Amino acid sequence: MIPEVIGLTSREIEKNGISANTQLSEGLPAIQGDRVQLQQVILNLLINAIEAMSGMSEGPRELLISTAKTDAGVLVSVRDSGSGLMLESVEQLFESFYTTKPGGLGMGLSICRSIIEAHGGRLWASANEPRGAIFQFTLTA
């Protein structure tokens, strides 16, 4: 499913000069869930990462989408080298109507978290070093 969603964003990735890579683990357990909703989560995270890097004037623009097996299921990570996160506002990112983007509605990450939690998982964000953000979610198998 992840390569399909990357395909949907490939023009924006290319247009913004972003180097996009994947590290998709083999043999992951099957996840039961609404495919369209889970695609929407990944799409939203990718678009946010692209937008975070689109206005950058310095440094590489790198996007890494990875998966890994966990004890309970699967971990998906979207890592960018964009403007990063203010650590004091990380949890606010998931609140309805909170946005850091001009013209943003502040609903995307809130909806993503609701979708992941409805699937029995967890969605969180952290800083990427030396810059950027990492959004990760788990889903149980």
Domains and CATH numbers, the chain: 2-140 (3.30.565.10)
Is residue 101 predicted with pLDDT exceeding 70? no
Banded model confidence at residue 141, pLDDT cuts 50, 70, 90: confident
Which two structure tokens, joined as six digits, stand for 77?
Answer: 């990570």
Q: Write down the pLDDT at residue 21.
A: 97
* Cα dist from 23 to 26, 37, 75, whole Å: 9, 22, 12
Class of residue 93 by CB neighbours under 10 A (exposed 0-12, middle 13-18, buried 19+): buried
pTM: 0.91
pLDDT tens digits along 61-71: 999 999 999 99
Q: Write down the pLDDT at residue 76.
A: 98
pLDDT tens digits along 2-27: 999 999 999 999 999 999 999 999 99
Banded model confidence at residue 100, pLDDT cuts 50, 70, 90: low
Q: Write down the pLDDT at residue 59.
A: 84
